[in-house]
Structure formats: C-alpha cells, structure tokens
Amino acid sequence: MSLSGIGVLLIGIGFLILSIFLARVLNNMAAILNGVGRTVEQLPDQLDDVLNETGQIIQNSNDTLADVNEKLGTLTPLFHIVGDVGESTRKLASSVNDIAGTIIRKTESVDEETRNKRLGGLYGSAALALYAVNSGKEKKRGFLKRHSKLYASGEQRAFDIDRMKEEAKEAAMESNYMSNEK
C-alpha cells in the first residue's frame, strides 16, 4: 500500500469514528425531541386542569368577597353607633371643659380682700374650735396649760398679717387705688 492509500484509510477511519460519534449525539437529540413532543402533547390537558383550578379559585374568592361585604354591611350600623357615642362624648367633655373654664374665671375675678376675709374666717373658725377643744381638756384636768411656742408663733404671725393688711390698705388709699367706703 502506498502512502496515499494509508492516508485515505486513516481519513476513512476518522470519518467512521466521527460518524459514530455524530450518530450517538443525533440519537440522544432525537430522544430529547421525542420527550419534548410528548410533553407538548400533554400540555393542553395540563393547561385545562390549571385553568379549571384557577376558575375554582376565582369563584371561591368571589364567594368570600361577597360574604365579607355582607358582614361589613351588618357591621356598618355598629360603626355609626360608635361614631355617635364618640361625638356625644366629645361634646360632653367640651361642655365640662367650658364649665370648668367659667368656674376658673369666676374664682380668679374674686378680689384679694374677699379671699383674705374668707380665709380669715376659715382660719378663725379652726382656731376657735382648737381653742374650745384644748380648753375643754384643760378644764377636765383642773389646771390651765401654758401655751406652746407654736401657738405664740402663730399669734405673732396673725398679728403681722393683720398689720400688713392695714399697711396695704393705707398705701392703697394714699395712691387712690381704693375707695374710702371700706
């Protein structure tokens, strides 16, 4: 055999190996395409099942939505009642606030002298009650108890307060802030 015959023989063997390899690849490709073909044939049936399930889900959603709307319809009057109660409560709180504001304005408009007279009367009544209780206890014991330092201090402060009130009245009369009627 000559060199050209050996070359042709080697090319033939290479071509045979290449054709065997391509045949295997093409067979595998044919198997894959057959599988794809079967999947495509089954696809309409599967899509029908999916669409039927989707239709049922939509129907169930519509039923649920209708049920929720019905229940909300029954709750709407309750929400209106709660809103009315809230509005009434707000109006009541506003009225109470207005009354409290009026009372505060009235108490602030009372002049200082009237307040002092009221407090003086209250303190005087309390002091008289305390004196009566203490003197009753002392009479039961049969002797007079000596006044404490606290009592003496309280008397001194009461005297100082009365003195300051008189000085304030005199200063106000001198400045013509008060009338001479009092």
Do 154 and 181 share a domain, yes or no? yes
- 57 domain-assigned: no
- 98 domain-assigned: no
- 26 domain-assigned: no
Which pLDDT belongs to residue 35? 93
For 100-135, letters b (16+ CB in 10 Å) and e give eeeeeeeeeeeeeeeeeeeeeeeeeeeeeeeeeeee
Q: How many domains does the structure of the chain reveal?
A: 2
Domain assignment of residue 179, given as a range: 146-182
Going 18 to 23 to 25 to 26, the CA torsion angle's sign is positive
Do 180 and 162 share a domain, yes or no? yes
Which pLDDT belongs to residue 147? 56
- 159 domain-assigned: yes
- 17 domain-assigned: no
- 134 domain-assigned: yes
- 63 domain-assigned: no
Distance CA 89, CA 91 (A): 5
Which pLDDT belongs to residue 146? 54
pTM of the model: 0.34
Which pLDDT belongs to residue 33? 94
Do 152 and 176 share a domain, yes or no? yes
Which pLDDT belongs to residue 182? 46
Do 156 and 168 share a domain, yes or no? yes
One digit per residue, pLDDT tens: the chain, 182 residues? 789 999 999 999 999 999 999 999 999 999 999 999 999 998 888 888 899 999 999 999 999 999 998 888 888 888 888 888 888 888 888 888 888 888 777 766 666 667 666 767 777 788 888 888 887 777 666 554 555 677 788 888 889 999 998 888 888 888 755 555 54
Do 150 and 135 share a domain, yes or no? no
Do 150 and 138 share a domain, yes or no? no
- 29 domain-assigned: no
